[in-house]
Amino acid sequence: MKKILIITVILLITVILISKPIIEFETMHYDFGKIKEAGGPHKFNFKFTNTGDELFRVLDVKAG
């Protein structure tokens, strides 16, 4: 009985470590060029797909 419990725990840990979100971007960079402040805001949408097995959450975004 003890061996079955240990094997079950090891399998669960392995599954948890293997399944994870994987994010893939269509493009990693975008050159905004020279932007005049009077021209207003300039926007670009980065498109990405979660190809992993788990839910991907974006919790915080900071400009670089």
The pLDDT, as a whole number, for residue 37 is 83
User: Residue 6: is its pLDDT beyond 90?
Assistant: no
The pLDDT tens digits of the residues spanning 11-50 come to 877 777 777 888 899 998 899 888 888 888 888 898 989 9
Q: How confident is the model at residue 64 (pLDDT cuts 50, 70, 90)?
A: low
Q: What is the pLDDT, as a whole number, of residue 26? A: 92
Q: How far is CA 34 from CA 3, 17, 26, 38, 44, in A?
A: 65, 44, 23, 12, 14
Higher pLDDT, 12 or 51: 51
Q: What residue segments make up the domains of the chain, in order of their start?
A: 2-50
